[in-house]
Amino acid sequence: MRRLVARVVALADRCTRLVRTRLTTLRVRLSASASGPNLLVGYPCLVVTPGQLTLGRNVFIGPNSNISAVGGLVIEDDVLIGPGLTISGGNHRRTADRRFATARSEDNPPLRIGEGAWIGANVTILAGASIGRYSVIGAGSVVTRPIPEAVIAVGVPCRPIGPIPSTSP
């Protein structure tokens, strides 16, 4: 009897996680300015200013992600993002008299994650950074500047360490 109860509880927990993931995906899809098919967003995921978020086809965003699309954020097709992503799209002014004025476009440049990019777990992407097509960002990296196309980049701050081979052996 205990095994049956444990199985039922495990199945209910699995169904609850699946429903939460589906609802989170639907919420992000409906609130984003545009989104392609095959979007999957893990639960929980917080999106600030979702109207400035554009999502391509076949995008996966892992659970526990926090995304601030202030200034605009484009995630292109076939992007895989691991759990715990933080995207901080906004900046504050550096002058003491206007520190909390964040609505200016020059303070909040748009962010772009290129087609086919892979973003590891617990990566932070800051305003002014972008990730080139087919690049791979290692887990725990902090992206503070643009990353070129087709490179492996890691570290704090994130820097390219080598190219991605164009063909498989």
Domain with residue 104: its CATH number is 2.160.10.10
Q: Which residue has the higher pLDDT, 20 or 56?
A: 56
Task: Give a yes or no: residue 122 inside a domain.
Answer: yes
Task: Give a yes or no: residue 124 inside a domain.
Answer: yes
Task: Give a yes or no: residue 168 inside a domain.
Answer: no
Residue 130: pLDDT above 90?
A: yes
Read off the pLDDT band of 99 (50, 70, 90). low
Read off the pLDDT band of 38 (50, 70, 90). confident
Residue 95: pLDDT above 90?
A: no
Read off the pLDDT band of 169 (50, 70, 90). low
Mean pLDDT of 143-164: 95
Mean pLDDT of 43-60: 86
Task: Give a yes or no: residue 76 inside a domain.
Answer: yes
Global pTM?
0.79
Catalytic residue among 7, 14, 92, 99: 92
The pLDDT value given to residue 113: 96
| Percent of the chain whose predicted confidence (pLDDT) is above 70 | 73
Q: Alpha-carbon Rg of the chain, whole angstroms?
A: 18
Three-state secondary structure string covering 86-113: EEECCCCCCCHHHCCCCCCHHHCCCEEE
Task: Give a yes or no: residue 116 inside a domain.
Answer: yes
Task: Give a yes or no: residue 169 inside a domain.
Answer: no
Task: Give a yes or no: residue 75 inside a domain.
Answer: yes
Task: Give a yes or no: residue 9 inside a domain.
Answer: yes
Stated length of the chain: 169
Mean pLDDT of 34-61: 85
Range of the domain at 56: 2-163
Residues near 143 by beta carbon (within 8 Å), at least 6 away in sequence: 123, 124, 125, 126, 129, 131, 137, 153, 157, 158
Is residue 164 part of the annotated active site? The answer reads no
Average pLDDT, the chain: 83
Residue 58: pLDDT above 90?
A: yes
The pLDDT value given to residue 17: 67
* 13 phi, psi to nearest 5 deg: -65, -45
| Number of structural domains found in the chain | 1
Mean pLDDT of 22-40: 72
Terminal C-alpha separation, the chain: 53
Mean pLDDT of 159-164: 94
